[in-house]
Chains A and B, each alone.
Chain A
Amino acid sequence: MAKTFEQINEKIKKGTAVVLTADEVARLAKTKSIEALAEEVDVVTTATFGPMCSSGAFLNFGHSDPPIKMAQLELNGVPASGGLAAVDTYIGATEPSLDRGIQYGGAHVIEDLLRGNPVTLKARGFTTDCYPRKEVTAKVTLETLNQAYMFNPRNAYQNYSAATNSTDKKKFTYMGCVLPNFGNVMYSTSGQLSPLLKDPQLRTIGIGTRVFFGGAIGYVAWQGTQAVNGYEKFDDGAEMYSGYTLALIGDLKQMSPEFIRAAVMEAYGTTIFIGMGIPIPVLDAELMAQLAKSDEELYTHIYDYGLGLLKKPTYRRVSYAELRSGSVELNGKMVKTASLSSISKARTIAERIKTMVKSGEFSLTQPVAPLPKTEKFKTMTMIGGEGI
């Protein structure tokens, strides 16, 4: 029997909703039928905690007196955007600082703010009659900011490729250090806990969907950048969804450094760990069939990150269960695997959301509008040569 959002929210209100994590449902599905599970379970919680470069925060500093229209600004030496109104800015997570490079970047400014540490703002103005000030230096904390909200253009990657390296040199990438001669396989999706792998057709996730974001309540704002509805069906009947992403918005002031952490990828750059998750209402058995999928039934491809190309050669399909086991077979050899996204943190988040939903602190939202479908990923049209 199908259920509606309203019926499920009603149960949540009454305290009778059955809420399980995606890990628990995957385990139960080994002994119970999908139909029975769809009947019994009302909400399944999903989560991920991994580095997500396309992240950052909008901040408003309040005005100085006399006021300034900031044109160039730095926060602890990290350049932030001067392209908004007088004292608004956007600080991007991957922006390196002028003095310390990638060792301290936008992500660290965000983490410092979250931890309540004072951050030094230095700005130069574009003097006008109403904004006469030329320069300003100020100490700001999360508390002194009028607004501070994260707006992450691309989070919650549905399913990301796994990386290996065929060359004889170490490659420092956003997937961490990929060792030469197929020395390791790095991956970064939370498998059976991954939000967009559990509702791959986005039946319950849309614009306005309430999510767990960095320890606070956040919302799906838009389709994430570079999102595509990737789908593959293999000869053995296995299916693979990939490529969809979400743009998320949430109040930085409510977030916690437990779920938002600045990161430095060796010889690559600054990035930020984001913990997020989505409770998914079990509308029917069809959705439950996806929600109950285990790491054994969820796949990605292993790609060669050694060549520095956009179109990377692919080696093989691999299940998340294989990746989780610590080694996978590649070209007849067992190769060590390592995850960049934290399994234990993702589990903590899925459990946290479960508690929040059960206690009525987190009710489910029906999307305000569906997320757009995108079939194809466009690439850049370059002017001039192809060299680097």
Chain B
Amino acid sequence: MKKKIALIFPPEITDKPLITELVKHHNIVVNILKASISGGKQGKMTLELSGKDSDVEKALEYLSKENLEVIVYTDSVIRYEEQCVECGACVGVCPSKALTMSAPDYLLKFDMELCVLCGHCVKACPVRAITFFDDEA
């Protein structure tokens, strides 16, 4: 199973080796997608966790007990409401194959598994049909 999550930490926990804990004690492969952490300030890290279903679930449980906020991304990280005009501007900038548009219907398809949360699509969409879930929070 793969899960994309964001961790928002208060300043005091930034030094704790959370990632090491996930890797060593929960058998999780951690892919850091984004991180903004600096000592003494609130930090945010976007991660992709992969591993056995049970391990990923246990890891999430472990994180939830820590003094930090955990956002688990579901398909709703990026929303295209009725707003979408199916133009493809977002497909052009997507560095992974998360956004695609192809025959026969040429409607926009989104594969959360492949998304690296770079945010390029959010800026490229001419009608603002895509937003980050956590931008709203």
On A, residues with C-beta under 8 Å from B are 49-51, 176-179, 184, 186, 261-266, 271, 273, 324-326, 336-345, 347
Contact = CB atoms under 8 A, between A and B. Distances in A.
B55 to A, nearest CB: 35
Contacts of B103: 324-325
A77 B13 CA distance: 46
Given A184-B92, A326-B102, A340 B87 contact: yes
A51 B126 contact: yes
B86 A271 contact: no
B45 interface: no
Of B91, B103, B107, chain A has the most CB atoms within 10 Å of the CB of B91
Dominant secondary structure of chain A at its interface with chain B: strand
Contacts of B62: none
Interface string B84-125: 011111011100000011110111000000000000100110
Contacts of A265: 89, 126
B91 A338 contact: yes
B101 A338 contact: yes
A14 to B, nearest CB: 34
A261 B85 CA distance: 8
A295 to B, nearest CB: 10
Nearest to B102: A326
B86 A338 contact: no
B124 A266 contact: yes
Nearest first, the 9 closest Cβ-Cβ pairs linking A and B are A338-B92, A263-B126, A343-B106, A338-B91, A338-B88, A339-B88, A344-B86, A176-B89, A342-B86
Contacts of A178: 92
Nearest to A337: B92
B93 A271 contact: no
A347 B104 CA distance: 12
Contacts of B89: 176-177, 186, 265, 338, 340
A273 to B, nearest CB: 6
Contact of B107 (A51, A184, A344): A344
A343 B88 CA distance: 9
Nearest to B126: A263
Of B85, B87, B101, B128, chain A has the most CB atoms within 10 Å of the CB of B87
Given A264-B128, A344-B107, A177 B93 contact: yes
A271 B106 contact: no
Contacts of A261: 85, 127
B87 A271 contact: no
Contacts of B87: 50-51, 273, 339-342
B100 A342 contact: no
B77 to A, nearest CB: 20
A141 B105 CA distance: 36
B101 to A, nearest CB: 7
A325 B120 CA distance: 22
A186 B92 CA distance: 7
A261 B127 CA distance: 8
Nearest to B84: A342
Contacts of B105: 344
Contacts of B106: 324, 339, 342-344, 347
B126 A326 contact: no
Of A50, A186, A338, chain B has the most CB atoms within 10 Å of the CB of A338
B26 to A, nearest CB: 36
Contacts of A177: 89, 92-93, 120, 123-124
Contacts of B101: 326, 338-339, 343
A176 B127 contact: no
Contacts of A347: 106
A186 B91 CA distance: 10
B125 to A, nearest CB: 9
Contacts of A325: 102-103
Nearest to A273: B85
A170 to B, nearest CB: 9
Given A176-B93, A177-B92, A338-B91, A273 B126 contact: yes
A40 B46 CA distance: 60
Contacts of B86: 342-345
Of B100, B120, B126, B127, chain A has the most CB atoms within 10 Å of the CB of B126
A52 to B, nearest CB: 12
